[in-house]
């Protein structure tokens, strides 16, 4: 993917993720969403089973599967529809994508420049603190602009 396309994808995805950021603090109820909503609606397990087209014991397994994270997305979507709900699935970054990219670029830049600084020190050509900061910032901005594949590699290999 070209650099401009990568940047555009990040910006568009950030906008979508911003709308979902309010969901970061939402915790699944202890009983799970399915059981909590079913009970809040006053629906029995048998009635839920009928709506879903399964046997009543299957509802108990389904609700347990949700709690132990083994329910499939398809099953959760079908169960939500049977409860007259919408199943929502998403992955919300802990931080913004731009901040995650910047942190990773800074980490890679630090590793790269540490190697170069060591060589320059051995050759008595070390940069001043101000020069080092400027070189570091340029390297970070270059990594952010180009987003090379190595950005997410193991920086211990450098």
The CATH number linked to 66 is 1.10.260
Quick check: is 127 in a domain? yes
C-beta neighbour count of 138 within 10 angstroms: 11
Tell me whether residue 67 is in a domain. yes
On whether the CB atoms of residues 99 and 10 are closer than 8 A, the answer is no
150 and 105 in a single domain? The answer is yes
Q: Give every residue of the chain whose pLDDT is below 50, as ranges.
A: 121-122, 157-158
Q: Give the range of the structural domain holding residue 144, as residue numbers without chain letter.
A: 97-157
Give per-residue pLDDT as tens, 102-113. Answer: 999 999 998 888
pLDDT at 156: 54
Clarify whether residues 62 and 105 are in a common domain.
Answer: no
Taking each helix axis from N to C terminus, what angle separates 73-82 and 33-40, rounded to the nearest 10 degrees?
Answer: 0
Helices (H), 21-155: 33-40, 45-52, 56-67, 73-82, 97-122, 129-146
**pLDDT attached to residue 122:** 46
What is the number of structural domains in the chain?
2
**Same domain, residue pair 73 and 33:** yes
Start-to-end Cα distance in the chain: 24
My answer on whether 103 and 132 are in the same domain is yes
The reply to whether 39 falls in a domain is yes
Contact of 33 with 66, CB cutoff 8 Å: yes
Q: Going by C-beta distance under 8 Å and a sequence separation of 6 or more, which residues neighbour residue 3?
A: 145, 146, 147
| Residue 91, in any domain of the structure | no
Stated pTM of the model: 0.72
What pLDDT does residue 158 have?
Answer: 42
Q: Is residue 5 part of a domain?
A: no
Q: Are 98 and 10 in contact (CB under 8 A)?
A: yes
Same domain, 124 and 147: yes
């Amino acid at each position: 993917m070209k650099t401009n396309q990568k940047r555009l994808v990040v910006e568009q995805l950030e906008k979508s993720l911003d709308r979902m950021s309010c969901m970061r603090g939402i915790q699944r109820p202890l009983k799970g969403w399915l059981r909590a909503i079913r009970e809040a609606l006053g629906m029995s397990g048998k009635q839920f089973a009928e709506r879903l087209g399964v046997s009543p014991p299957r509802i108990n397994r389904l609700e347990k599967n949700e709690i132990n994270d083994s329910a499939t997305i398809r099953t959760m979507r079908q169960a939500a529809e049977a409860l007259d709900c919408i199943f929502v699935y998403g992955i919300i970054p802990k931080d913004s994508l731009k901040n995650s990219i910047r942190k990773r670029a800074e980490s890679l830049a630090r590793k790269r420049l540490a190697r170069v600084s060591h060589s320059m020190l051995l050759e008595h050509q070390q940069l001043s603190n101000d020069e080092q900061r400027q070189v570091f910032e340029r390297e970070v901005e270059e990594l952010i602009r180009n987003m090379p594949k190595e950005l997410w590699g193991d920086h211990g290999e450098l």
